[in-house]
Structure 1
């Protein structure tokens, strides 16, 4: 059997043009084990890029670099929650303008492999599924649960008609469409769900569209993730045996082209991990071997980009592990879109198999080290509730983020101490019910924190009637595996000594809205502002215009953990104390060359005495890089 498989490999895409078709078409030639584009044998070399992780201003730059590297195609995910953050409200404007992105790719002569989900994984918040789905009690995600299927069908009824004009057969550049994503990795293994998705996609996109699945390189994943009528592809990285991986694809898809839909050029980082890197020689050697076999390859990632705002996902195997803000991925194009040695090595491989575009690789975008900026204290978060909240929701027992319709960011939970606590008394989350990090203060004095899977107990002191504030941070919902029903907030009762805490006031905080509207730089501060505070506190500063608006990297040396906004845009989370990431990427287009650039920092634990930030001209993504 294996010998025959290898024979198929060596003749892949050696088929003749039997039809001489003049119309646009993209099909599978099962007889000759290849794709046909306009009736001609076609072997694609593709790279993954996520428009949701790159500012719109830079889309054209990144696509041009991918084209000049010799790629035929790009592969993109459509994050459902990015476009329908609030149920029934769809946003396809600005950085969410998917059709503009497709148009730029088309202008750049890049084909598109579309992965519309509805689940995408991608180390993205909840794997791209919108958190409002969790408002449905007992919903079974990624299954034939009628409630879930109706929501998916409603979403596809909005998305897919927008994609139809971009199909290759209709004059666009979408050559194939993935159904779900790595479904074999899900515990449900519900083929009725996959059949439903297949039907919906065929209704909107037509039965002639090439639909495919992608699954990991194991028999179990391929068994659960594949379905008749959907072309089965496999994904694997440099550590896998290429022949064995494609033999596995052949067992599930005996005829047709060989496809590695995710060939891993790098890997992701979690907070607390070492920075992941994949050897360039291994990547280029594996790429050459697969191309020699006639395989079609998509490199994941070709550029990773950034998890701006609250869009990072998380894993949960033995414990909760949120993904860092940078999605650099050690990819051929860096987080800032710069060509790397890995990109040049990949281009050298590609040009031995096909002609690549003539001309130089576009250069890295210019970087600038703007230097130090001093911040001043605005105030702790408990004193600013009127700025961020229209008022509390009251309940005897705590409610989740989802019940409060506060899907991302922060909620402040407030109650009073039921009795005098003259000695340190244990505050316990007995069922690991803090999702994901809680910052606890009594009468405005910070007392400590609780953290999911890590810190379930802390000490409290105070007097009966004192106000206890618990600021809870959503660190990103699980994006992979059996824990994607990832409710946030205080999801179980908290116990203080022998008392179950009750009578809660809960403040959903619209911090992003206030900052986007100009706060806190519209304030005239009256308090002494040069002293840092312990506990969740806001700080502000100004980067003065310098005549250039170039990319830069923000280093928060000796700051502990928090969030940064520049000119109202949420750059993402920083956590240098845990690492590995030490800087935040600041795209140049966010900055003004003529007006002061407003910086807002929410430090959740303790700011350094110096209250300084540093803008550098290079990233630091490793703990070892700390200075």
Structure 2
């Protein structure tokens, strides 16, 4: 792999324990198989066991149910509640799985990295005193003020920075390990980030002659499939897209890039690099235009699901839903009629507001859309808000990022009470609408909104039987606004081409099959259909991550 001899990966607690006491270690979640594969191809492993991993993932990789169990929990600290759940996860599930693969047991795991200092003694007690533990990041002030024996700190190095003095000052006896960023992550609505090949090569040329161990971050970024991408909150709320391509040396689809070849050339000066031809890019599938048909709206899906009643709105976590939609509704007090001011001061993250079934606007945490709406009411009207989660904050002091309507809504200053709430967990494929794939001719369906939003659409496409196997491909949704996509009931993730920069979604060959395949979309806002123009999607051979953005 371009001369690198070690792979570093993270263990995401939320992926392996998505619901409390429910553990997933098979299929794409087979951690042990991944580590053993690395060993088989001659790679050592640095394992970041968290429990907080950042990585632009929902809540930094911590499971949402921590907020359900303990709304006031202090995440990623030594607080009793957090340590109790973390200890159960690690002692019961994670550590028994990795113990046989540690270096001391002739396994490939040479180093464990953590993000909380108290884990150092914990891991040495559980795995043995010779376990090598690194803390992967600390602010400079804490590195200087609080140096802990036998706990190695590393310093991430963005291209253009020279952090060597940090470690020389704090732990001159420790090996130097620096992360060179080969790219950077994106946010919805902001331009695609890249780091030039020249800048990466210069940074490598600077450190490798100094006998520094270099960690390329990311060498392969991949995809935040499903609804697992996170968000950030600094000057404003920013949601991360589905793609985690990261402008990395290996593309999202696993192809070699020019950056990969340049890095390989540099590394060959200092480390042995396997010889042989490089396959620049694998063939991609062009499966053409897919006709999409509306099959059900969210109101009908919600009618099949249980409703919770409460005096005040409950959060997603209070309703025990990780991600998806929650429909909130409340009857208007009889004393308020005509035009009024509806105030929704805290909707996390995007709310579609209806008054008596009529659209009254959108409130949005990320786009700064108003939380104060003028609404016109008739006797007997109900206020309904469909709230979408766009990913919990993945870093900093705001990771206890509750979703939904998180504070009281008011109408002309009066607090609205008596709420009905229906959770639509889009991570649960059993609640998704179904339709026979044998025909595209379904009975007419009334969209969830006049513009075709809040509606599920289905279509089929063919992978030719004569193909040896399916190919990677990319889903393009020109004309569609914002939503979630599934192929063969596998959730590709969120799409939002209207704001960019991500225009296409990566569709891995492994979820496809020869013959007939299904594409399912949940469009939240506007579908490109009319009486004369059908809705379509396209599967093409080009990934577009640098589309136009508002900023």
Aligning the two structures, in what range does the TM-score lie when normalised by the shorter sequence? over 0.9
Query: Partner residue of 1:198?
Result: 120
Q: What secondary structure, in the 3-state scheme, does the structure 2 residue paired with 1:373 have?
A: strand
The reply on whether 1:484 has 2:407 as its aligned counterpart is no
Query: Partner residue of 1:34?
Result: none
Once the two structures are superposed, what CA deviation does each residue of 1:306-339 show, in whole Å capped at 9, x if it has no partner?
1111100111001110111100000000111110
* Corresponding residue to 2:476 among 548, 555, 566: 555
Query: Partner residue of 1:31?
Result: none
| Inter-partner Cα distance in structure 1 for 2:496 and 2:145 | 38
Query: Partner residue of 2:102?
Result: 167
| Inter-partner Cα distance in structure 1 for 2:81 and 2:549 | 48
Instruction: Flag structure 1 segments of 5+ consecutive residues without an equivalent.
Output: 1-66, 184-193
Q: Retained in 2: the 8 A contact 1:418–1:464?
A: no
Deviation at 1:489, TM superposition (A): 0.8
Query: Partner residue of 1:13?
Result: none
| Inter-partner Cα distance in structure 2 for 1:338 and 1:401 | 38
Aligned residue runs from structure 1 range 372-383, under 5 A: 372-383=289-300
Q: Retained in 2: the 8 A contact 1:512–1:568?
A: no
* Corresponding residue to 1:109 among 42, 49, 52: 42
Greater Cα shift, 227-236 or 87-96: 227-236
Q: What secondary structure, in the 3-state scheme, does the structure 2 residue paired with 1:402 have?
A: coil
Q: Retained in 1: the 8 A contact 2:257–2:280?
A: no
Greater Cα shift, 548-557 or 307-316: 548-557
Aligned in 2, Cα 1:521/1:229: closer, same or farther, shift over 3 Å? Answer: farther
The reply on whether 1:123 has 2:40 as its aligned counterpart is no
| Inter-partner Cα distance in structure 1 for 2:381 and 2:189 | 35
| Inter-partner Cα distance in structure 2 for 1:201 and 1:534 | 53
| Inter-partner Cα distance in structure 1 for 2:415 and 2:379 | 14
Higher helix residue share = 1
| Inter-partner Cα distance in structure 2 for 1:463 and 1:525 | 35
- Superposed CA RMSD in Å reads 2.2
Q: Retained in 2: the 8 A contact 1:428–1:458?
A: yes
The reply on whether 1:176 has 2:111 as its aligned counterpart is yes
Aligned in 2, Cα 1:561/1:420: closer, same or farther, shift over 3 Å? Answer: farther
The reply on whether 1:332 has 2:249 as its aligned counterpart is yes
Aligned in 2, Cα 1:580/1:98: closer, same or farther, shift over 3 Å? Answer: same
Query: Partner residue of 1:78?
Result: 11
Q: Retained in 2: the 8 A contact 1:446–1:534?
A: no
The reply on whether 1:613 has 2:537 as its aligned counterpart is yes
Deviation at 1:598, TM superposition (A): 1.2
Deviation at 1:223, TM superposition (A): 4.2
Once the two structures are superposed, what CA deviation does each residue of 1:64-113 show, in whole Å capped at 9, x if it has no partner?
xxx3x211010001010010010111110111000011111111111100
| Inter-partner Cα distance in structure 2 for 1:420 and 1:319 | 37
Deviation at 1:231, TM superposition (A): 1.0
The reply on whether 1:134 has 2:49 as its aligned counterpart is no
| Inter-partner Cα distance in structure 2 for 1:425 and 1:471 | 20
Deviation at 1:169, TM superposition (A): 2.1
| Inter-partner Cα distance in structure 2 for 1:558 and 1:423 | 36
* Corresponding residue to 2:172 among 251, 254, 267: 254
* Corresponding residue to 2:519 among 574, 577, 599: 599
Query: Partner residue of 1:208?
Result: 130
| Inter-partner Cα distance in structure 2 for 1:223 and 1:132 | 35
* Corresponding residue to 1:541 among 459, 478, 491: 459
* Corresponding residue to 1:435 among 348, 351, 371: 348
Deviation at 1:384, TM superposition (A): 2.3
Aligned residue runs from structure 1 range 114-513, under 5 A: 114-135=47-68, 136-157=70-91, 158-180=93-115, 194-195=117-118, 197-215=119-137, 219-220=140-141, 222-223=143-144, 227-241=148-162, 245-260=163-178, 262-387=179-304, 389=305, 391-419=306-334, 424-430=339-345, 433-452=346-365, 454-455=368-369, 456-513=371-428
| Inter-partner Cα distance in structure 1 for 2:147 and 2:99 | 24
TM-score by length of 1: 0.82
Q: Retained in 2: the 8 A contact 1:518–1:568?
A: no
Once the two structures are superposed, what CA deviation does each residue of 1:345-396 show, in whole Å capped at 9, x if it has no partner?
0000000112111322355332012111111112321132134x2x101001
Greater Cα shift, 559-568 or 538-547: 538-547
TM-score by length of 2: 0.92
Q: What secondary structure, in the 3-state scheme, does the structure 2 residue paired with 1:509 have?
A: strand
Q: What secondary structure, in the 3-state scheme, does the structure 1 residue paired with 2:422 have?
A: strand
Query: Partner residue of 1:63?
Result: none
Q: Retained in 1: the 8 A contact 2:296–2:433?
A: no
Deviation at 1:529, TM superposition (A): 7.2
* Corresponding residue to 2:501 among 570, 573, 580: 580
